[in-house]
Structure 1
């Protein structure tokens, strides 16, 4: 016989769907298994069988099987991340019913992993806990890369955006400060790069445009990755002898490079076609450490990169 346990609903979760509540605390359970437990009445609300879209409310009591504890990802008694909604609002560039555009801060991971407790995805799931659809990340940025991050708020938009990224129909422009300068002002970098735990070589293509030489050692360059490989821009810049300053993994320890303690790589803008055919364009302001560099060298925020 299955051992059962009762749980009261914290006020933070009033109005949330039952399946969202369960997936929040037991994220390893599959949708099919959850539906099976509900159909069999092993999971109940107020002693009654309910469907996965049941809305929880004050006074509701959940009855869950003890074996779900093995799938726990966070304590049931823990409320959502404090201030998550305000944090997401603070970094929001644009939002409508279908998409959310964020300015990801420097140093914050996009998703969780080993040793990563704080990440954008966690804030999103907490901030949109009562929504019918979980916000879905459709691309990634490195932890130390700041800037435009696109999030889908509907299943239809998630499918649309995922298709655009897969088909390389999203135009992404990054700004970077580099230790060194390309011999040619604009061009393509198409070296194979290493990805994955086995360091497998894989093809990659990045377009670049030298905007300005800050001095005879440091340059401001715009990058547009055509492919979307992990650390692609950082590896390509390093392999081309103008690594991004502040890059502890792929940078070099020159006097000029060591002047910059943090990675200077920013997802400055994104362009893509909306479901209705309109072209959408979004820009993200610089993080504090790059803003200070821009002020130090008196750099413009709207450079002329015509022809790139």
Structure 2
């Protein structure tokens, strides 16, 4: 408790000087003030190196301020106070550099420490001739495993930042691609970016994947080397609301909130802090118009010995069994044998909705050839009525090899008809601001809930129109 109170008092003093606010900007500013120049001269004298311009300018990282993201997420999730969110101050210098500079390769960070290019502020109080206390700054070398105390400030060579921004500019210089990605934005504030992920775009990289949201995330930022971070996933062929954290702290809190959501659901909790709504077109009709699906998921190895899939049938060849809960509601049943569903995942398991629809409800999602291959073997496209808007039938090539249009139930091979239409989250930006404030009495019970809605992709809109026209 004594350590926590001391850290809190130090954070208050830093906040009064505007230091804590810099946590939202990992490359917050350069140490170019006169006091920092004294430290620069001292460092140069210690190393015996002459002044060579940029090589002796330093980039100041945010002061070390440990925060327990998991504890903060629990407080936000349960609408409680945040009295116990201060994390352990037992963190090393290399961990703090990686947190503040996630875009720097790990090998480069390690090299900076080996070459003694990472410095830490050493503040001493001296008495001037007028008996006034003056702070003298001096930069000292810090090793990778040195432990930091709240308020410690690390410095890196400024050319690291400049080269990182320049490298990003060279890597992402296609204006059409940048404009396309930014056109996907639904919402943006200091903590998060919300996008409407198009179908066919991978969220993460993998074998044979060149472009993914994870790799392209720097395009969402202008003149910044700090890239947004993934906090949850959508399948490659799934579309809809996708949230990214703009800072390490906001991303860590969001990660913890998604985990807390699953834990709360499995404990029969009733918290509604995080809510997600999907829309799906399935083959067949559920027996009941609404219900709760509770079926554990397990991995099973396929006959080729390499591929795996998830199933609700646990057996001797299954591993990593995880409980999964999904609520569903029928939106509309169509005489052609299709049904529009709303799906509400209470847990966040891989392929949860696809497996629950195919194996529990017995109604595989249209375009899901992994879990509904048998149902698609006798697939017959539906005719397109003359009343359907012709604009929905047009196909257009998009950046990154994507295609707009096609894939509806009027096609021989429809795309996956699964879309994350809506997500509700607490105001993470306000929560982060509260965590970084000097107010010790943090209260997250009145955080505003933000709702993000993504319109249906073109192929699902066309399928909706086709089914309506056939009904007529």
State the TM-score, normalizing by the size of structure 1: 0.73
CA distance in 1 between counterparts of 2:337 and 2:358 reads: 15
Q: Gaps spanning 5+ residues in structure 1: where?
A: 1-16, 42-48, 61-74, 300-308
Per-residue CA distance 1:240-281 (angstroms, 9 max, x = gap): 200101101011225457663110000000001114410000
CA distance in 2 between counterparts of 1:51 and 1:130 reads: 20
> In structure 2, do the counterparts of structure 1 residues 129 and 214 end up closer, same or farther at CA, with 3 Å as the change threshold?
same
CA distance in 2 between counterparts of 1:77 and 1:102 reads: 22
Confirm or deny: 8 A CA contact 1:178 1:221 kept in the other structure.
yes
CA distance in 1 between counterparts of 2:98 and 2:286 reads: 53
CA distance in 1 between counterparts of 2:448 and 2:169 reads: 45
| Rg comparison, structure with higher value | 2
Q: Partner of 1:188 in structure 2? A: 292
3-state SS in 1 of match to 2:193: strand
> In structure 2, do the counterparts of structure 1 residues 291 and 207 end up closer, same or farther at CA, with 3 Å as the change threshold?
same
Q: Partner of 1:270 in structure 2? A: 423
Q: State the Cα distance separating 1:178 from its structure 2 match.
A: 0.2
3-state SS in 1 of match to 2:371: coil
Corresponding residue to 2:353 among 214, 226, 233: 233
**Which is richer in helix?**
2
Q: Partner of 2:454 in structure 1? A: 284
> In structure 2, do the counterparts of structure 1 residues 217 and 153 end up closer, same or farther at CA, with 3 Å as the change threshold?
same
Superposition map of 1:7-156 within 5 A: 27=105, 29=107, 31=109, 33-40=110-117, 51-52=155-156, 54=158, 79-80=171-172, 82-83=174-175, 84-128=177-221, 130-131=223-224, 133-156=226-249
CA distance in 2 between counterparts of 1:221 and 1:138 reads: 26
Structure with more relative contact order (C-alpha pairs < 8 Å, separation 6 or more): 2
Per-residue CA distance 1:64-97 (angstroms, 9 max, x = gap): xxxxxxxxxxx99963262343122111111122
Confirm or deny: 8 A CA contact 1:217 1:256 kept in the other structure.
no
Q: Gaps spanning 5+ residues in structure 2: where?
A: 1-60, 62-96, 119-140, 142-153, 262-272, 301-307, 309-316, 383-408, 431-446
Q: Structure 1 stretch 120-129 or stretch 94-103: which is displaced more?
A: 120-129
Confirm or deny: 8 A CA contact 1:19 1:52 kept in the other structure.
no
> In structure 2, do the counterparts of structure 1 residues 85 and 293 end up closer, same or farther at CA, with 3 Å as the change threshold?
same
3-state SS in 1 of match to 2:376: coil
Q: Partner of 2:327 in structure 1? A: 207
Q: State the Cα distance separating 1:208 from its structure 2 match.
A: 0.6
State the TM-score, normalizing by the size of structure 2: 0.49
RMSD: 3.4
Confirm or deny: 8 A CA contact 1:245 1:257 kept in the other structure.
no
3-state SS in 2 of match to 1:166: helix
